[in-house]
Amino acid sequence: MIERIGILGGGQLARMLVQQGQRLGLQMSVYCENKNDPAAQVTNLATISTFQDLKTLQKFCSQQDLVTIESEFFPADLLAALEKQSKAKIFPQPKLLAQLQDRGPQKTLLMKQKVSTSPFALVEKQKDLTEFAQEFGFPIVLKARMGGYDGFGTYILKDKQAVGEFWKKFSRQSWIVEKFISFQSECAVSFARNRKGEIVHFPVNQTHQVDRRLDWMTGPLKTSAALKKMLKQLEKFVRAIDYVGLITFELFETKTGFLVNEIAPRVHNSGHASLEACNVDQFTAHLLAITNAKLPKISACQNYGLLNLIGDNQKTFSLPQSAGLGHLHWYGKTENRMGRKMGHITILASSEKEVLQKLKQLRKR
């Protein structure tokens, strides 16, 4: 029997999930707001409505065997209700998602499972910030508990005055405060775990942010004792929370070891190169995990890199001539807005040096 998979969301992550699911012979449906959303273009099974239209949402879910999400910020309560009303199983599990999508419980979970991460506190009043700064020193990092991504919803406060200004402006939202970490580099790694409990992870990637957004990345990161320690902690964590599906950890590499910066309970921009570089890609791994198929050990066949193609407000589109240098993925977004992720190019090469050279060449165009 063909498994029917529904995705809530219609952006590029959903688009690539749909395309990889179709290769596996799964029936891939999407629920999204516009008929020309990136994922709606790649299936004949799109339901177009708002996420406030509960009746249509429920109908959509009841037509699926499994439902999954594109964004970790989908209301977890709504997800739980949809699971109850439909016969579809939802992954990641709504209860778990509720904890992971809120940076407060997310950090608490990490700490509870003894995963290395920066010290933090929940913020309820301005005094919480000054007290935290007294203990850990300035600067301090404020992160919105809900809805932050790509560095949005993150503020670095360098002194008491900044704390005062911040509090005046943002005290109505919910925040956590973290110790500022002086890191050497940023990395990311994704794990996949199926319903039987089999667990695999992808090679670790080095990520490079520009304007708080992933701009380019390379991999695989060479292994080290510190990295092995981190991966061991993460595998234990994924098992402990009984996660099913693909989960991505954004890491800081510091002089004294790796720390978890944030968790994205979903496929992730840092993992797109797995489409060409690995024996299994992150989208396929997520689908194998939630359908409870066997998870093969994952490895990269070459060195690789990725360059995001960021929108520049131009109205016209022409097939990037740079396609020849790498593997182009254009997301089919109808509007080329400034700063928007419009696509990416994957580079494969036999050495890290060659990857970096090719990325530089691409960057020039």
- SS3 call for 204: coil
Give the x/- contact pattern for a second copy in 146-165, rule: CB under 8 A. Answer: --------------------
Please state the closest distance from residue 27 (CB atom) to a second copy, in A: 8
- Would you count residue 40 as binding a second copy (CB under 8 A)? yes
Among 319, 338, 364, 365, binds a second copy (CB under 8 A): 319
Both tokens assigned to 172:
């109505």
Closest CB to a second copy among residues 236, 327: 327
- Would you count residue 313 as binding a second copy (CB under 8 A)? no
Please say whether the beta carbons of 96 and 242 come within 8 A.
yes
Please state the closest distance from residue 15 (CB atom) to a second copy, in A: 8
Which parts of 10-75 fold into alpha helices (H)?
A: 12-23, 54-62
**Peptide bond just before 203 cis, omega within 30 deg:** no
Nearest to 177 by CA among 244, 109, 240, 128: 128
Among 197, 296, 312, 313, binds a second copy (CB under 8 A): 296
- Dihedral in degrees, nearest 10, Cα atoms 100, 102, 105, 108: 80
- Would you count residue 294 as binding a second copy (CB under 8 A)? yes
- Would you count residue 317 as binding a second copy (CB under 8 A)? yes
Cα–Cα distances in angstroms (integers) from residue 190 to residues 202, 268, 301, in the given order: 6, 8, 17
Q: How many CB atoms lie within 10 A of CB 156?
A: 12
Among 161, 316, 338, 365, binds a second copy (CB under 8 A): 316
Q: For residues 40-62, b (16+ Cβ closer than 10 Å) or e, as one string?
A: bbbbebbbbeeeeeeeebeebbe
Both tokens assigned to 18:
């749909």
Please say whether the beta carbons of 190 and 203 come within 8 A.
no
Please say whether the beta carbons of 177 and 198 come within 8 A.
no
Closest CB to a second copy among residues 34, 223: 34
Q: Which stretch binds a second copy (CB under 8 A): 34-42, 171-179, 201-209, 236-244?
A: 34-42
- Would you count residue 361 as binding a second copy (CB under 8 A)? no
Residues 184-223 that bind a second copy (CB under 8 A): none
Please state the closest distance from residue 342 (CB atom) to a second copy, in A: 8
Residues 13-32 that bind a second copy (CB under 8 A): 19, 22-26
Please state the closest distance from residue 294 (CB atom) to a second copy, in A: 5
Among 280, 290, 300, 355, binds a second copy (CB under 8 A): 280
Give the x/- contact pattern for a second copy in 240-279, rule: CB under 8 A. Answer: ------------------------------------x--x
Closest CB to a second copy among residues 168, 324: 324
# binding residues, a second copy (CB under 8 A): 45
Among 54, 181, 332, 352, binds a second copy (CB under 8 A): 332
Please state, in angstroms and rounded to a whole number, the distance separating the CA atoms of residues 41 and 30: 10
Residues 76-135 that bind a second copy (CB under 8 A): none
- Would you count residue 307 as binding a second copy (CB under 8 A)? no
Nearest to 264 by CA among 119, 147, 141: 147
Please state the closest distance from residue 323 (CB atom) to a second copy, in A: 7
Among 225, 324, 338, 364, binds a second copy (CB under 8 A): 324
Q: Please list, in sequence order, all residues whose beta carbon lies within 8 angstroms of the beta carbon of residue 95, skipping any fewer than 6 positions away.
A: 76, 80
- Would you count residue 348 as binding a second copy (CB under 8 A)? yes
The H or E element spanning position 261 is strand 257-264
Residue type, 81: A
Both tokens assigned to 354:
């060659």
The H or E element spanning position 218 is strand 213-219
List of residues contacting a second copy (CB under 8 A): 1-3, 19, 22-26, 35, 40-46, 276, 279-280, 284, 288, 291, 293-296, 301-302, 316-319, 321, 323-325, 327-332, 343, 348
